Structure 1
Amino acid sequence: MINQYFFHYLVFSMNLSTNNVSVLQLNSQPPTIYEILRFALPLVLGLVTNALMNLTDTIFMGWLGAAQLAAIPFAAGIYLIGWILMVGIMRSSISFIARLFGAKEKHKIGSILFHYQLLAIMGLPLLLLYIQSFPIFSQLAQLSPMVAEYAWSYLQVLVWGTAFTLLLILYTSFYQAIGNSTFPMYISLIVLVINVILDYALIFGKWGMPALGVAGSAYATILAQAVGAFVMLITLISAENRQQFHLRYWQRPDMNLLKQIFWVGFPQGLGDFTELIAWVGLSVIAGRLGDTALAANNIGMQFTLVLFLPGLALGITAASYTGRFLGENRPELARLTTYKILSIGGLYMGILGIPLWFFGAEIARLFTEDIVIITEATYVFKVMALYQLFDCIGIIIRATLNGAGDTRIPTLFLLACILIVMFPLSIIFSLFITPPLMGIWLGTFVYMVVLAMLMLYRYRSNHWVTIQLETRAIMV
C-alpha cells in the first residue's frame, strides 16, 4: 500500500514535472542528439519494465506447474489480440495533445483527455464480449481440459483490468505528448514492483493473502496497474494542472470529436493489431516445419520483441516532437528532428547487427544445447542482422506519421505488405531454401525492406504536413 508520505511525495514530484515542462518547450532549432536521447531513454526503460512484468508472471507460473505455465501465456496472448486495438486508439491521443501543446492551446487538452477516457472505459464491455470467443481459440489450439481451465480462469479475471490498463496508457501518452517521458517511467517501475510483490502474495498465499494460483497473477496485474493509473490521475487533477489544461470531471460528449478521434485512432490500432497477427502467423508457418524449426523461430521472436523496443521508443519520441512542431506550424523542424532520430536509430540498429551476425550461435546457446536448433537460430540471427536498419526505418517513420495524424494510408501499406509480400514470400522461400526456416525469415526481410520504402515514400510526399486535426471547435 502506498503510505501517506509516499503519496504526497508523488504528487509533489508530479507538480514539479508538469510545472517545469516549459524546459521541454520547443524553440527555433531542432532538438540536439542529447535532448532526443534524454527523452527516449526513459521510454526505453518504461517499455522494458512492461516486458519484465510479463516475464515475472511467466516465472511464477513455472513454479506452479507445467499446465499453468502453458495456460497463462496462451490466455495473455488471446487478451492481447483484442486489447492491442484499443491501445492503438489510446496512443493516438499523442497526435491531438502534442499539436495542441505546441500551438499553446493547452486549455483544449482537457476535452481531448475526457473523450479518450470515455473510450478507455468503453474498452471493458468490448473486451468482455471479445473473450467469450475463448472456446474457439481453445479448440484451435487443442488445449487439454486442465490447461483450458487455467487459461479461462486467468482470462476471466484479467479482463476486468481493461479500463485501468487503457487509462494508464492514455495518461502515459499525455505526458509523452507534452515532452515528459521521465514520470511515466517512474510509474512503470512502481507498477512493476507492486506487481511482483502481489504476484508472490496472491499466487502462493503469502503474508496472510489467499492462495489464488493463476487468478492471483491476474489480480496482481489489475491492482498494480490500477495503482499506476490512480497515481497518474491524482497528479493530473491537481489545481494547477486543472487550470492549465482545463481538465474536467464531466462534459457533454462531442460526437464530432469522438468521430475524429476514432477516424485517427482506429487505423493506428488496426495497424498494431495487424502487425501482431502477422507475427503470430509467422510462428504458425514455422510450426508447420516441425518442433525444431518452431523452437529456433521462437528464439528469434523473443529477441525481436526485445530489439524493437529502442526503435519503438525513438518512434514515440519522433511522434511527440512532430506533433508539437506541427502545432507551432513549423513542419521543417519536425522533418529535421525526424531525420536526426532516424540517424540515431540507424546507428543503434547497425551496431546491433554485428553481434547478431557474428555471435548468433552463442546467443542461441543461452536457450538450448540442441545443436540443430542452435544452427537454425543462427541463420535467423543473420537475417535479423540484415533487416535491423529497415525495421528501424519502418517503426520510426510509421510512428512519426501517426504523430501527425496520418494513420490510414500507413496502415493500408502495412496490410498490403503483410498480405502481398510477407506471407507469400515466406512460404515460397521456405520451399526452396535450406533450412526452410531461413527462407521464412528471408521473406520477412523483404517485407521489412518494402515496408520501410513505402513509409519513406509516404513521409516524403509531405501529406502529413497538410493534415488538419479539427480541434478548433473543442468546448473549453
Structure 2
Amino acid sequence: MIAGWLKERWEGTCGCAEVLRVGAPLMISMGSTTLMQFTDRIFLGWHDVSELAAAVPGGLVSFLLVSFFMGAASCVGVLVAQYHGACRPERVGPALWAGVWFSIAAGILLAALAETGAPLFRLAGHPASVQGLEADYFRILTLGGGWIVLATALSGYFSGLGRTVHVMAVNLLGAAANIPLDYALIFGRLGAPELGIEGAAIATVLGSVLSCLLFGLLLLAPEAQTRHRVRSSWRFDADMLARLLRVGLPAGVQFFLDIMAITGFALLLGRMGLVALSATNIAFSINGLTYLPVIGLSIAVSVLVGRSQGQQRPDLARRATFNALFLALVWMVGVGLLFVLAPGPLLDLFQSASQKVAPQDGGASFADIREMGIVLLRYVALYSLADAVSIVFFGALKGAGDTRFVMLVMLAASVCVLILPAWWLVEQGLGGIHGPWLCLSAYICFLAACFGLRFRHGAWMKRRLIEAAPGKNCHT
C-alpha cells in the first residue's frame, strides 16, 4: 500500500519526479549559494572574529534594501511561467525586458543609498569595534546590489520556462568563482591586497556580475529570439511593466518585510553582546543549509503553479504544491536531526587557530560562542518543519499571483509576532537568549499556518495575471 501511494505521488504531471526535475537544479543552486556564504563566514571568522560578527548584520541590512527589488524582479519568472502555460511564447521576451528595465532603475536607487548604513549601525548600539566593519560591508554590497537584482530578473526567463539546469549552471559557476575571490581578497593572497571584510563584499559583487554575464550569453541562443522574441523586445513596454509591478511590488514588499524582520532580530541580538551576536550569526549561517534548498523547491512550485494557472488547471497546481511539501519535509527532518545530534562539528568550522588558545579582544571566547550556538541550533531544528510549510506554500501563492495576501500577513507577523516581542524581551532582560529565539520560532509557525490556510481556502485560483490564451496547445 505504501509503495503504491509513493508511486502515485511520484509519477505523472506535477508529481514528485517533475517537481524534482524542475526543483533539484534550483536546490543545487541554492546549495551553492549556501556554500558560498558558509565559506565566506568561515574565512571571516579565521581572519577576525569582529568581522564575523559584522558580516551578518552588515549583509542583512544591505540585503534588506536589495530584497525589495529582488522580490519584484523574481516575478519575471511568474509571468514567464504563466505565458508559457497559456501558449503565448511571443510575450515571454517583453516580460523579461520589463524585469531588465526595472533592474536598471533599482541599481541606480541602491547606489544612491550606499552611504546610509553607518548611522543605522550606530543607532543599533553594537560594539564600537564592529560598527565600522558593518558599514564598510554594507556600502560595497549596496553599491553592487543592482547586479543581484538583474541576475534575479534574467534567471526568471529560464526558471519560468522550467529550464532550471541553466540557472543551476550559472549559480554554480558564480559560487565557484566567489570562493577563490574571497580567499584572495580577504587574506591578501594570489597577488591581491588584504582587504578583510571589504574583500568579502567585493568578491560577492563580482560573483553577481559574472552571473549576469553568463545569463546574457545563454540568452544569445537562437530560440530566445525566434520563439520568445528576446532581442527584439528591448523597447520599453509600459503595459508589461505594469503587469510585473502588479504582482511584483507586493512580492517585493513581502520579501523586504521578511528580511527586515530577520535583520531587526539580528540587530536586537547585537545589543546582548558579542557572544550572542556571533552565536546568532553562526546559527543563521548554518541554518542556510536548511532553508535555501527548500527555497529552491519553492521556486519550482512557483513555476509549476504559474504554468498550471496559465493552463487553467488549478488541480495540477495543488498536486505540485503538496508533492513539493512532501519533499521539503523529508529534507527538513534529515537536516534537523543533524543539528540536534551533531551541532558541535558544524560550529567548530568557524573557529580560527587563534581562538583555540585565547579569547578575542572584548572577552568573546569561542567556547562561549560554541556553547550558545548549540542551544540555537536546537531552535533551528525545532522550527525547521514549520519553515518548510511556510516556504512551499509561499511559493505556490506567489506562482498564482496571490502576493498581496502574502504581503499583508508578513507585515503583521514581522511587527507583531517577532520584532516587538523580541525587542521588549531584550530591553527587559527577560529570558536571556531563549526569549528572542522563541519569538523567531513563533514567527515562522505563524507564517506557516497563515500561508497553509490561504492555499487550502483556494482564493488564489481566481487570480489572473496575463491576457487570455489563444486556446491552442503549443507545448512540445
- With structure 2 as the length reference, what TM-score do the two structures score? 0.81
Unmatched 5+ stretches in structure 1: 1-27
Task: Give the alignment of 1:322-401 within 5 angstroms.
Answer: 322-360=305-343, 364=347, 373-374=369-370, 376-401=372-397
Contact 2:73–2:248 (CA under 8 A) maintained in structure 1: yes
Q: Say if 2:242 is the partner of 1:246.
A: no
Q: Given residue 452 of structure 2, which amino acid in structure 1 is its aligned partner?
A: L
Q: Write the distance in 2 (CA, Å) between the matches of 1:451 and 1:102.
A: 29
CA contact (8 A) 1:40 1:181 kept: yes
Q: CA deviation at 1:243?
A: 0.9
1:431-461 deviation line (CA, Å, top 9, x unaligned):
9998532232222222222221111121122
> Residue 173 of structure 2 aligns with which residue?
190
Q: CA deviation at 1:94?
A: 1.8
Match of 1:17 in 2: none
Counterpart of 1:269 (choices 218, 236, 252) is 252
Task: Quote the Cα distance in structure 2 between the aligned partners of 1:376 and 1:70.
Answer: 14
Find the counterpart in structure 1 of residue 118 from structure 2: 135
1:211 aligned residue: 193
- Pick aligned residue for 1:412 from 399, 408, 412: 408
Q: What is the aligned counterpart of 2:80 among 97, 102, 110? A: 97
After TM superposition, the structure 1 stretch with the greater mean CA deviation from structure 2, 362-371 or 262-271, is 362-371
Deviation at 1:258, TM superposition (A): 1.9
CA RMSD of aligned residues (A): 3.5
Name the counterpart of 2:443: 447
Report the counterpart of residue 465 of structure 1 in structure 2.
461
Q: 2:303 aligns with which of 290, 296, 320?
A: 320
Instruction: State the alpha-carbon separation in 2 of the partners of residues 308 and 97 from structure 1.
Output: 25
Alpha-carbon offset, residue 110 of structure 1: 0.4
Q: Which region of structure 1 is more displaced relative to structure 2, 147-156 or 446-455?
A: 147-156
- Tell me: CA distance 1:273–1:245, structure 2 relative to 1, closer, same or farther (3 Å): same
- Report the AA paired with residue 311 of structure 1: V
| CA 69–454 in structure 1, closer or farther in 2 if over 3 Å, else same | closer
Equivalent residues of 1:430, 1:438 under 8 A apart: no
For residue 236 of structure 1, the aligned residue among 201, 219, 225 is: 219
Letter in 2 for 1:456: G
Cα-to-partner distance string for 1:210-247 (whole Å, 9 max, x where unaligned): 63736655554444432321222122133232011111
Distance 2:83 2:111 in 1: 34
- How much has 1:276 moved relative to structure 2? 1.5
Question: What is the CA distance between 1:83 and its match in structure 2?
Answer: 0.9
Residues 218 and 305 of structure 1: is their aligned pair in 2 closer, same or farther, counting only changes over 3 Å? closer
How far, CA to CA, are the matches of 2:185 and 2:347 in structure 1? 34
Match of 1:255 among 219, 223, 238: 238
The whole-number CA distance in structure 1 between the counterparts of 2:18 and 2:101 is 34
Q: Report 1:9-48 matches (<5 A).
A: 29-48=12-31
2:86–2:307 Cα contact (<8 Å) kept: yes
Query: Is the aligned partner of 1:172 residue 2:168?
Result: no
Contact conserved, 2:23 with 2:164, CA < 8 A, in 1? yes
Using the TM superposition, give the Cα deviation of residue 254 of structure 1 relative to its aligned residue in structure 2, in angstroms. 2.9
Q: Do residues 456 (structure 1) and 452 (structure 2) align?
A: yes
SS where residue 115 of structure 2 aligns? helix
Give CA deviations for 1:289-308 in whole Å, capped at 9, x if unaligned: 44444444334323323211
Q: Does the 8 Å CA contact 1:195/1:221 hold for their aligned counterparts?
A: yes
Distance in 2, Cα, partners of 1:201 & 1:470 = 47
Partner SS, residue 179 of structure 1: coil
Counterpart Cα distance in 2 of 1:148 and 1:390: 34
SS at match of 1:213: coil
Superposition deviation, residue 39 in structure 1:
2.6
Q: Distance in 2 between matches of 1:226 and 1:400?
A: 30
Q: Distance in 1 between matches of 2:430 and 2:348?
A: 21
- Name the CA shift for 1:107/1:385 in 2 (closer, same or farther; >3 Å): same
Amino acid at match of 1:267: P
**8 Å CA contact retained: 2:286, 2:346:** no
Letter in 2 for 1:339: F
2:398 aligned partner? 402
Paired with 1:389 and 1:447, the residues of 2 have a C-alpha distance of 13
The CA deviation at 1:182 is 1.3
Looking at structure 2, the residues matched to 435 and 374 of structure 1 have their Cα atoms a distance apart, in angstroms, of 19
Preserved CA contact (<8 Å) 1:349 1:392: yes
Number of paired residues?
Answer: 446
Task: Report the secondary structure of 2:114's partner residue.
Answer: helix
How many Å apart are 1:49 and its aligned residue? 1.7
Superimposed CA distance per residue, residues 237-284 of structure 1 (whole angstroms, 9 cap, x where no aligned partner): 332320111113555423233223112112112212211121222234
Greater shift in the superposed pair: 324-333 or 256-265: 256-265
Distance 2:433 2:131 in 1: 30
CA deviation after TM superposition for structure 1 residue 63, in Å: 6.9
> Which runs of 5 or more structure 2 residues have no equivalent in the other structure?
1-10, 352-364, 470-476
TM-score by length of 1: 0.81
Residue 168 of structure 1: how far off its partner (Å): 1.6
Q: Give the number of the structure with larger relative contact order, counting CA–CA contacts within 8 Å between residues 6 or more apart.
A: 2
CA distance in structure 2 between the partners assigned to 1:66 and 1:440 by the alignment? 23
Within 5 Å, give how 1:276-295 maps onto structure 2.
Answer: 276-295=259-278
1:412 maps to amino acid: L
Partner amino acid for 2:239? N
Q: Structure 1: how far apart are the matches of 2:171 and 2:235?
A: 32
Q: Which residue of 1 aligns with 2:418?
A: 422
Corresponding letter in the other structure for 1:93: V
Mapped to 1, the partners of 2:276 and 2:49 lie a distance apart of: 22
Q: Report what 2:5 is aligned to.
A: none
Question: Do the aligned partners of residues 275 and 57 (structure 1) sit closer, same or farther apart at CA in structure 2, a change above 3 Å counting?
Answer: same
One-letter code aligned to 2:392: I
Among candidates 284, 291, 309, match of residue 292 of structure 2: 309
Task: Determine the C-alpha separation between the residues in 2 that align with 1:154 and 1:382.
Answer: 29
